Structure 1
Amino acid sequence: MSPVNLATSSSPHYESLPLTKHPNNPIDYDNDPNHDYTVLAYAIPIPYRLNSNGILFSLFTILFLTTSLYYLWPSNPELTIVRLKLNKFNAHAFPAKLDVELDLKVRVLNKDVYDLVYRSVTVEVVYRGSKLGFVEAKGGKVKAKGVSYVNATLRFDGIEVLEDAVFLIEDLARGVVTIDTVSAVEGKVGFVYVYIPIKAKVSCEVDINTSDHTIRRENCFSE
């Protein structure tokens, strides 16, 4: 057997295979002119499409519900002092004491479409931020959109104001003592066994002339 001449034997021949367009083969389909593909579009069905009448009906329903809620939602009653009469007033510097007797008439306005049931009306007398005392009138009922009047008399004899003695002496020197009255009502309104608690308050700032024991000025405001 003659030896094989490796030097003269021909080199193996390799040919590149065509690329197979397979989903797993990372081929740039956008830049491949030989590739044809189809884009499928799917239409999603819309179960309901609003027309102009449906939109108007929805807006009207929202407006109706909002308006009804505004008028039906309970609100706090409105308190007004319609009469404030000073029957008695004395101020003593040593020791610092006050004698006060006031008659008040409180107007309770129920602005709601439900009846208002209140437990009581409380009236306090305050001097320089310190509560001197209070009186409580019995409760009652105010019909829807109705008005009720409550009378209260505050009578305090020899109420000590030791912590505010310096201020009392100053007030007596200038001839005017200022006291505050705070009237408050608490109750509930509602219907069909659903009740919502409500409350209201009105304060009056009263300047009393110490020489003739009369009211010089009064200023009332709701809180």
Structure 2
Amino acid sequence: MKSKPLTLYSKTVSYCFFLLLPKPKKKTQPMTYSKQDTKNYVVIRPCICLLWTVILAAFVTAAFLLWPVDPEIEMEKLTVKRAKVHPLPPLSANVWLSVAVKVHNKVLCWMELAEVDVGIKYRGQKLGHVETEGWHVAGWGSAHVFGDLEFGGLPSPEVAHFMQDLGKGRVQFHTAVEVVGNLGLFFFRFPNIFKVKLSCEVLVNTKNHTIINQHCIVKMLVIFYISIHTSVMQV
């Protein structure tokens, strides 16, 4: 028997399979490159969004703090100090009043109140007005403006009603408060002027010198620039 050909055939088969092993290495290289690209893209995008969010938040905050807003005005006190009747014809009366107005600043900018005017009426008859100036209100602060008013010559048709209301302990007045001023921030004064007029129906308790109730309406609110106003006047 011959056995040599079998030995030569087995050696040839063993060398053929080792040449295919390095081929899978080529498939892993594109996957590694794409992961790096994806990672860099995800890191850059949140940074840009965060930057725009911070800028937008800063702009909204600055607009909220610095945007000019009309001051809040409140008739804080109205007191009838005393009244004197002149019985000799023509019948008349003198009335002494004391008023207190609260001006509240609702923004960061300070306010310079150039004029605070308080007018008082009784049953449509003007008793007079109090005017003051030079009040400074800090940002988010308040100012209390006080004034005294003396009116002489309440006409005879109203004297009887006024004395009757004093006897009841309740007197109703009509008040008109007008505030004019400027806005500023730190050492800078803005070139604009605000003007607010508040009209109130005030019921006063003359016994304990308190306000029972009041109904107020803002009648006029004007914010204008001095430069624009001046140019119109020149034309």
TM-score (norm 2): 0.54
Find the counterpart in structure 2 of residue 141 from structure 1: 136
Note the 1:29-178 alignment, pairs <5 A.
Answer: 54=48, 57-58=51-52, 60-89=54-83, 97-160=92-155, 165=157, 177-178=171-172
The CA deviation string for residues 9-56 of structure 1, in whole angstroms up to 9 with x for no partner, is: xxxxxxxxxxxxxxxxxxxxxxxxxxxxxxxxxxxxxxxxxx676556
Find the counterpart in structure 1 of residue 194 from structure 2: 198
Q: Which runs of 5+ in 1 are unaligned?
A: 1-50
RMSD of aligned alpha carbons: 3.7
Counterparts of 2:83 and 2:208, CA distance in 1: 8
Change in 2 beyond 3 A, CA 1:170/1:105:
closer
- Is the partner of 1:76 in helix, strand or coil? coil
Counterparts of 2:190 and 2:210, CA distance in 1: 46
The CA deviation at 1:139 is: 2.2
| Cα pair 1:78 1:200 within 8 Å, conserved | no
| Cα pair 2:78 2:210 within 8 Å, conserved | no
Change in 2 beyond 3 A, CA 1:83/1:171:
closer
1:181 alignment partner AA: T
Counterparts of 2:99 and 2:211, CA distance in 1: 15
| Cα pair 1:91 1:98 within 8 Å, conserved | yes
| Identity, % of aligned positions | 25
Counterparts of 1:149 and 1:173, CA distance in 2: 31
Counterparts of 2:176 and 2:102, CA distance in 1: 14
Q: Which runs of 5+ in 2 are unaligned?
A: 1-44, 219-235
Counterparts of 2:137 and 2:48, CA distance in 1: 43
- Is the partner of 1:145 in helix, strand or coil? coil
Q: Whose helix proportion is higher, 1 or 2?
A: 2
Change in 2 beyond 3 A, CA 1:169/1:105:
closer
Whether 2:175 is the aligned partner of 1:181: answer: yes
Counterparts of 2:210 and 2:85, CA distance in 1: 16
